[in-house]
């Protein structure tokens, strides 16, 4: 699937293909025209991806070709061994996790996994975890703490799954426990939102020392559709909702919810290796910085980072009460 923002681009590209075919099959010299069109396409591409609306970013974050956690793991890390199961109920494949090597540093990697084709997406419940997924994540995080390994989390989920089984097994309790435990895990934690950061289901892997976000990823309290449906009783106003929700990386950096935006130029699906390499470099430098910290300082800074968000306001005392 190509999303509608790329419509004009596709038109230009098919024209380019036509031109090339014509050049091959005839004796016409079309080189100049071809070069011009190629340049125009590059300009167009750049322009589109520099001026995406929040709703277009939502669509891009959900793009079916957008790289998944496992794509990044294989591109970023030097070795990876997946570990399975929460030891309580089952293995939830909407969350993957395991051991990885970044250079010569051993890390624990955990992330939502949406799936790359329909079969995998169905098997992985479109990256919407059940409680056992969050419990698996917590098991691996505790294990990381035991062995003094830093933790890297990839966030990419529409949200925690809403169903009978997930309620029966305590979806709220599982997420809550992750939030609480992550705030006191004595190893560095880095989280990166690579696609959709959907609500509590995303935050359950997102309490970290450094929170990164790909330039066209989104992160919000609820999906734009859910937001429009709750506030305006009309899910079809999702595009409008995206506009006021402040869910883009640029908005969230300004609100101090994230620490850094990771450039992805014309979309991570077109720049897979480039983005992976960039993430690798950023992880390495953050890990060097964070691993050097005293664990107690690390935890104090992590606490303060969240403590500062949303202080509210106290009305200024009016003159009468001052007097």
Partner 1 sequence: MIANLLPKTKYTVLPMEPVNKPDLETKKPEIPDGLFVKCPGCLRAHYIIELEAASNVCPNCHHHFRLGARERINTLVDPDSFTELDADLLSSDPLQFPGYAAKLSDLAEKCSEPEGVVTGLALIHDHQLALGVMEPGFMMGSMGEVVGEKLTKLVETATERKLPVVIVTASGGARMQEGIISLMQMAKTSAALARHSRAGLLYIPVLTDPTTGGVTASFAMLGDIILAEPGALIGFAGPRVIEQTIKQKLPEGFQRAEFLLEQGFVDHIVARTELREFLAKLLKFHSCCGRNSCDSGASRDNRVETKKT
Output DSSP code: residue 263: P
What is the chain's Cα-based Rg?
Answer: 22
Output DSSP code: residue 138: H
Minimum distance of partner 1 from residue 5's CB (angstroms): 24
* Per-residue contact string for residues 148-167; x = within reach of partner 1 by CB under 8 A: ------------xxxxx-xx
Q: Which token pair is 108?
A: 């624990």
Q: Which of 170, 271, 280, 284 binds partner 1 (CB under 8 A)?
A: 170
Minimum distance of partner 1 from residue 8's CB (angstroms): 31
Q: Which of 219, 242, 264, 268 binds partner 1 (CB under 8 A)?
A: 219
Q: Which of 77, 126, 227, 286 binds partner 1 (CB under 8 A)?
A: 227
Judge whether 227 and 205 are in contact, CB under 8 Å: no
Judge whether 149 and 109 are in contact, CB under 8 Å: no
Of 257 and 290, nearer to partner 1 (C-beta) is: 257
Q: Which of 255, 256, 262, 259 is nearest to 217 (CA)?
A: 262
Q: Residue count at the site for partner 1 (CB under 8 A)?
A: 53
Give the Cα separation of 305 and 220 in Å (integer): 18
* Per-residue contact string for residues 265-304; x = within reach of partner 1 by CB under 8 A: -------------------------------------xx-
Torsion (CA) 193, 194, 198, 204 in degrees, nearest 10: -50
Judge whether 5 and 59 are in contact, CB under 8 Å: yes
Q: Does 207 bind partner 1 (CB under 8 A)?
A: yes
Torsion (CA) 232, 236, 239, 243 in degrees, nearest 10: 0
Of 81 and 164, nearer to partner 1 (C-beta) is: 164
Using the rule CB under 8 A, give the single segment among 31-39, 111-119, 135-143, 171-179 that binds partner 1.
171-179
- Residue 321 parent element (H or E): helix 319-322
Give the Cα separation of 2 and 6 in Å (integer): 7
Q: Does 244 bind partner 1 (CB under 8 A)?
A: yes
Minimum distance of partner 1 from residue 159's CB (angstroms): 9
Q: Does 233 bind partner 1 (CB under 8 A)?
A: no
Using the rule CB under 8 A, give the single segment among 22-30, 54-62, 96-104, 240-248 that binds partner 1.
240-248
Q: Which of 107, 252, 276, 290 binds partner 1 (CB under 8 A)?
A: 252
Q: Which of 36, 50, 173, 250 binds partner 1 (CB under 8 A)?
A: 173
HEC readout, 141-163: HHHHHHCCCCEEEEEEECCCCCC
* Per-residue contact string for residues 298-317; x = within reach of partner 1 by CB under 8 A: ----xx--xx-xxxxxxx--
Give the Cα separation of 17 and 224 in Å (integer): 37
Residues forming contacts to partner 1 in the complex (CB under 8 A) are 160-164, 166-173, 175-177, 179-181, 183-184, 199-200, 203-204, 206-207, 219-222, 226-227, 230-231, 244-247, 252, 255, 257, 302-303, 306-307, 309-315
């Amino acid at each position: 699937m190509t999303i509608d923002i790329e419509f004009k681009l596709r038109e230009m590209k098919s024209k380019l293909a036509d031109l090339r075919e014509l050049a091959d099959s005839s004796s016409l010299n079309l080189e100049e025209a071809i070069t011009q069109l190629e340049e125009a396409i590059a300009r167009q591409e750049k322009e589109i991806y520099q001026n995406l609306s929040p709703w277009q970013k939502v669509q891009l974050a959900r793009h079916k070709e957008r790289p998944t956690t496992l794509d990044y793991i294989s591109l970023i890390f030097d070795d990876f061994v997946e570990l399975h199961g929460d030891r309580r109920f089952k293995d939830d494949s909407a969350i993957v996790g395991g051991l990885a090597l970044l250079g010569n540093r051993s890390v624990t990697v955990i992330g939502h996994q949406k799936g790359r084709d329909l079969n995998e997406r169905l098997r992985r419940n479109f990256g919407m975890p059940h409680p056992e997924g969050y419990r698996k994540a917590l098991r691996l995080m505790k294990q990381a703490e035991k062995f003094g390994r830093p933790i890297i989390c990839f966030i990419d989920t529409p949200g925690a799954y809403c169903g009978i089984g997930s309620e029966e097994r305590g979806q709220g309790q599982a997420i809550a426990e992750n939030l609480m435990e992550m705030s006191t895990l004595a190893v560095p934690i880095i989280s990166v939102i690579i696609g959709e950061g959907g609500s509590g289901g995303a935050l359950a892997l997102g309490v970290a020392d450094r929170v990164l976000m790909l330039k066209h990823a989104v992160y919000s309290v609820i999906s734009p559709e859910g937001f429009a449906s709750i506030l305006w009783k009309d899910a079809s106003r999702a595009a409008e909702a995206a506009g006021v929700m402040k869910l883009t990386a640029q908005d969230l950096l300004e609100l101090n919810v994230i620490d850094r935006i990771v450039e992805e130029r014309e979309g991570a699906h077109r720049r897979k290796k480039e983005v992976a390499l960039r993430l690798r470099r950023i992880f390495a430098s953050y890990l060097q910085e964070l691993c050097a910290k005293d664990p107690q300082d690390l935890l104090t800074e992590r606490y303060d980072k969240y403590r500062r968000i949303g202080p509210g306001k106290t009305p200024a005392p009016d003159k009468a009460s001052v007097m």
